[in-house]
Amino acid sequence: MSADSNPANAYLRTKVLTATPEELRLMLLDGAIKFARQGREGLAARDYEASYNGITQSRNIVLELLTTVRPEPDPELATRVKAVYTFLYTELVNASIDRSVEKLDRVIELLEFERETWVLLMQQLGQERATGKPAPEPALSGGLSIEG
């Protein structure tokens, strides 16, 4: 069975192609968390190939998140968000080099917090759209600006 005929791949392809930018960013966060956990499991089991693969995938996704932050709506916010993603990327590299479960735990915790925050922002945007309030200018190419 080819990859294109696999129902799971077809579903994922459709989901990605029909997702909003906010949903795409959430998918990236979910993927970064999933692969960081796989890397952690590999480290804990001393399966260094599995840890390398998981950490590398997570690191690549974090890099994508970092490079899609747009400064136009709020340069100061963009700088702060980029600093968080830069820290996560660096910690993933160091966790791989040091074979540190603790560093991966910290990355996973921060990614989960980022995901929860993103979900709240998506809910807020949905409510604003439902009430007809103008949506905030996107600060992230995958979604929203973060405004208080």
In tens digits, the chain (148 residues) has pLDDT values of 555 568 877 766 777 777 888 899 999 999 999 999 999 999 999 999 999 999 999 999 999 999 999 998 899 999 999 999 999 999 999 999 999 999 999 999 999 999 999 999 999 988 888 888 765 555 554 443 333 3
Residue 5 maps to a domain: no
Instruction: Write out the residue range of the structural domain in which residue 38 sits.
Output: 20-131
Can you say how many angstroms the Cα of residue 76 is from the centroid of all Cα atoms in its chain?
Answer: 20
State residue 143's pLDDT score: 42
State residue 148's pLDDT score: 34
Residue 141 maps to a domain: no
Residue 138 maps to a domain: no
Tokens of 89: 């990327």
Query: 22 vs 4, 30, 56, 105, CA distance in Å?
Result: 26, 12, 24, 26
State residue 15's pLDDT score: 72
Q: What is the total count of domains within the chain?
A: 1
Which residues face 69 on adjacent strands? Answer: 140
CATH number of the domain to which 36 belongs: 1.20.120.340
Whether the CB-CB separation of 50 and 38 falls below 8 Å is answered with yes
Q: How many CA atoms lie within 13 A of 125 on its CB side?
A: 19
Whether the CB-CB separation of 73 and 146 falls below 8 Å is answered with no
Residue 31 maps to a domain: yes
Residue 34 maps to a domain: yes
